[in-house]
Structure 1
Amino acid sequence: MRRGSRVQPSTVGEGGPLGAVRVAVDGAAAGRWEALNHLVEVLLEVDDAGDEGVARSALALVAGAAGVVIRLDRHARQAPWYGPYQESTLRRVGARFSITTSGPVAMALASMHGDGRIRERAVAAMVGRPCPEMMPFLVLRTADWVKPVRDRARAELALLLADDPGGYLPAVLPMALRLDARLRGGFAVTQIRAALLSAPAEVWRGLLGSGGRRQRRFVFDIVLAQGWLRLPDYVTCAETDSDVGIRVRAAEAACREAVWSRRHDVLRRLARSVRAEVRVVALTGLVRAGQDSDVAAYLEDDAPLVRAVARDAARRLGIDAREHYRTAVSAGEPALGAIVGLAETGSAADTPLLRPLLSHPQAKVRAQAVRGLRLLDAVVAQEVLPLLRDPSPAVVREATTALRPLTGALPPDLPWELLGDVRVELRRAGYRLLCGHGVDVELRAALMLTLDPDPRLAERGKADVTRLARDGARNTWRRTPPPELPVTVAQHGELVALAARAAAAVGEDTSRMLTTWLARTRPDA
């Protein structure tokens, strides 16, 4: 289906009406004016069918895509001065809208009409036959710039939330949070907060267990401020919730109550959490409770902040953290936290303890050893160089980071060999080692990377080629001069050939800028 084209009746039938709506919503989420107009036409096709259940499902699909309702609302009052759609389809909705006979789709579209009187009639129609799928469109009108429309929508929204908070809050909340930053957008959020404060527990528990991150944090903050959860609930949230913000807030509440009530068992339980941010809060609670011996046991933790809290507790107990790390690293199977901990507290004198770990059989140990040497500024290029082809991608990544400041000590052809390797992590390493070696080297490497079979590497190459081409094609009258391209005739020819091969990958605009830049910087024979 071509984006922006008019929809024939048969189009809606392909895959069912909702299938056509889903495709149109996906296009409108990232498309321009024509894609939004296309979505309106598909919705009107659904409205013509007269099936209210399908119409409500179509509105739910529109409301479920982030930002599409707001884009449609803006689209209703804009029309391009060129092209086949010089009049928005939404402007034609007013002629067919009726308070008594129109369906949910027609009501929702009419609520975004440019005429305030039609919008006010649409608000009245939505309230006369309310359904959760139309609530995002009603919330938009609570921030309307026309006072009668705004007042009518606000009054009706307040009544609906008061009568049935469980039915309407899930549909109202996402749109209200999006409008909160607008000039007149705070009303809906205030009403939601009031509805939540008076709603039964199952309502806010349902909102807390579903929806997007912003919605769940908003609800959790209200629940936290009201003290509706008990200590076991906070512990469960801290250990199992999928959102890091909620985990931290729950852990802070749980640890605060545990410190006050001297529930050290709760603090120790959270200190064993798999989440580093929860462990830090729990260890801080143990410090406040005077349990430094429990905290010092985490000197070898994987998380840097946890190790820092543990070292502070060890200092108060008279434990030398550096000696502890030295002993731990000298063991046959050192903990990963001990290796990095030695790098954080040690000096160049401790590098003999780390260098033997570069050949350790465990990849994680080798990677941490490279990182430790880098933190101690004790990297020797010839020792780390073999790790560039390590079987572990993590080791390759750490070795590349450590060797980037020392590329002068590497074989000149090595980065180019890595860039052509069959392993994706080695190609990434080769490209990183070539960055920062002059515009000519960066351009050649980026052009080669645009044709990489790995999509992420190809996208990075395309972005770098676009950046370099824009800088190179910059007009000479700008304050910053365009970069120089110091290449020989043969090297210039190679760049031209690479640019031709990458033309389809980088796009027409970038290819044109790149061609202009290369033509202007062609060296004399």
Structure 2
Amino acid sequence: MGRSEALSHLVEVLLEVDDAVDEAAARSALTLVAGVAGLVARLDRHVRQAPWHGPYQEPVLRRVGARLSVATSGPAAMALASMHADGRIRERAVTAMVGRPCPEVMPFLVLRTGDWVKPVRDRARAGLALLSAPVEGRRGLLGSGGRRQRRFVFDIVLAQDWLRLPDYVACAETDSDVGIRVRAAEAACREAVWTRRPDVLRRLARSVRAEVRVVALTGLVRVGQDGDVVVYLDDDAPLVRAVARDAARRLGIDAREHYRTAVSAAEPALGAIAGLAETGSAADAPLLRPLLAHSQARVRAQAVRGLRLLEAVVAQEALPLLRDPSPAVVREVTTALRPLTGALPPGLPWQLLGDVRVELRRAGYRLLRGRGVDVQLRAALMLTLDPDPRLAERGKADVTRLARDGARTTWRRTPPPELPVTVAQHGELVALAARAAVALGEDISRMLATWLARTRPGT
């Protein structure tokens, strides 16, 4: 009759059946529940509302949520968890039901296709479509829908082992989603390791995707093919290089000496420069300094980054590269010089902030960050008026932060920042604030004006 006490007793009985770890009994129990017209829906409402109706229900639901496991839950636990008030638990239950389907839980899965939480609803609908579709249709579902839905479908495909090795290889090489590529590569490489298919592992190791290469190389290591792995010492990806260095160590190859030789070539690989920075020391800096004048911008940028990682940057050597034609080089040089701002000409960051090139203005602003509050405020106000929208937005965000800190009332525990400026400097800040008023908006301009009025020299 759907009374609360009877439904609570039904939940307890289903939990006892689940405790018995008897899947046949659990399926029979769910068949009985589904056979009573409307009982699944009434039970769903009861379980969902139980934490708010009575002192005995919440511990029961905690047991349901704690027991749910995608890999090992019984049918009764999955069915009850699919009715839980917590949407995350319902979503896990749907995943479990689709991953290990049985006819007895289908009415509970169908109920979730109308769930009020979109991720639960979408996952249940995709799962039902996947379970009803033929093999060709299942492959088609992998190519449709959003990212979350496609990943869910692929997880079910993996759990049910519906694809073969060539399908996993194709997904790893061509899928547009990094999550699916990684899962497919892991599945393909796992099967290739088990079946002793190093040809598949070598193929995936040549992938343009670093996340696929590292999985494939790990597989080659597991089948004892260190010789195939060590050739990736100069790879662009850090994880790939790390796997290759581990193989080199087992083969007795000195990776550091390899990198020292490789960076001295006429056209050194970027991975070799990065590898030397990862394995070398400041003593290896002379090998990288000639690359600062290399004809390729990518090599110059990587050399600057390598010197920074080796803590061997010399400000006077890096300064000319601040105006390099390549934005990537400018970005790396700026990062390398930020800890060395004391060695830079005092007016250089301000000159860069007024340059016509957007990457130089960005560099100038980065070199000014971390200085006194007065310097930060002046630079941020200037950047707020920048013609580049992204730089202007960054300047506005920093002005907003500083103005809010400066305009805080005195009762707050943290004192407002000091603004040690001369009369002339204060006047310049007021003028900049007036020019930026439209861009900042009324509220921020008012807070900024309050702060500036409070910190006027002589007041």
Fold conserved between structures, TM > 0.5? yes
**What is residue 465 of structure 1 aligned with on the other side?**
399
Q: Matched residue of 1:297: which SS?
A: helix
**What is residue 384 of structure 2 aligned with on the other side?**
450
Pair 1:179 & 2:113 matched: no
- Separation of aligned partners in 1, 2:455 and 2:180: 55
Pair 1:501 & 2:426 matched: no
- Separation of aligned partners in 1, 2:122 and 2:115: 6
Number of aligned residue pairs: give it.
353
Q: Matched residue of 1:449: which SS?
A: helix
**Relative contact order higher in (CA < 8 Å, ≥ 6 apart):** 2
Output aligned runs, 1:119-134, within 5 Å: none
**What is residue 250 of structure 2 aligned with on the other side?**
316
1:177–1:296: structure 2 CA closer, same or farther, 3 Å change rule? Answer: farther
- Separation of aligned partners in 2, 1:198 and 1:211: 17
Output aligned runs, 1:134-145, within 5 Å: none
Q: Which moved more, 1:371-380 or 1:225-234?
A: 225-234
**What is residue 65 of structure 1 aligned with on the other side?**
none
| Shift in Å, 1:187 | 6.8
- Separation of aligned partners in 2, 1:507 and 1:436: 25
1:308–1:445: structure 2 CA closer, same or farther, 3 Å change rule? Answer: same
**What is residue 213 of structure 1 aligned with on the other side?**
147
| Shift in Å, 1:440 | 0.7
1:176–1:312: structure 2 CA closer, same or farther, 3 Å change rule? Answer: farther
**What is residue 394 of structure 1 aligned with on the other side?**
328
| Shift in Å, 1:177 | 9.8
- Separation of aligned partners in 2, 1:189 and 1:213: 12
CA RMSD in angstroms comes to 2.2
Residue type of the alignment partner of 1:368: Q
Unaligned 5+ segments in structure 1 are 1-141, 146-168, 181-185
**What is residue 89 of structure 2 aligned with on the other side?**
none
| Shift in Å, 1:178 | 5.1
Mapped contact 2:233–2:271 kept (Cα < 8 A): yes
Runs of 4+, deviation exceeding 6 Å: none
1:329–1:188: structure 2 CA closer, same or farther, 3 Å change rule? Answer: closer
| Shift in Å, 1:507 | 1.5
| Shift in Å, 1:256 | 0.5
- Separation of aligned partners in 2, 1:442 and 1:189: 49
TM-score (norm 1): 0.65
- Separation of aligned partners in 2, 1:510 and 1:447: 12
- Separation of aligned partners in 2, 1:178 and 1:428: 43
| Shift in Å, 1:176 | 6.2
- Separation of aligned partners in 2, 1:492 and 1:324: 57
- Separation of aligned partners in 1, 2:207 and 2:349: 42
1:178–1:412: structure 2 CA closer, same or farther, 3 Å change rule? Answer: farther
- Separation of aligned partners in 1, 2:378 and 2:221: 55
Q: Matched residue of 1:487: which SS?
A: coil
| Shift in Å, 1:202 | 4.3
Mapped contact 1:364–1:395 kept (Cα < 8 A): yes
- Separation of aligned partners in 2, 1:349 and 1:306: 25
Residue type of the alignment partner of 1:308: A
Residue type of the alignment partner of 1:179: K
Q: Matched residue of 1:429: which SS?
A: helix
Unaligned 5+ segments in structure 2 are 1-81, 86-108
**What is residue 222 of structure 2 aligned with on the other side?**
288
Pair 1:355 & 2:295 matched: no
- Separation of aligned partners in 2, 1:401 and 1:428: 11
Mapped contact 1:196–1:204 kept (Cα < 8 A): yes
| Shift in Å, 1:205 | 3.0
Output aligned runs, 1:316-395, within 5 Å: 316-395=250-329
TM-score (norm 2): 0.74
**What is residue 479 of structure 1 aligned with on the other side?**
413
- Separation of aligned partners in 2, 1:188 and 1:349: 57
Residue type of the alignment partner of 1:255: C
| Shift in Å, 1:192 | 4.4
Aligned-residue identity in percent? 85
| Shift in Å, 1:306 | 0.4
Output aligned runs, 1:21-32, within 5 Å: none
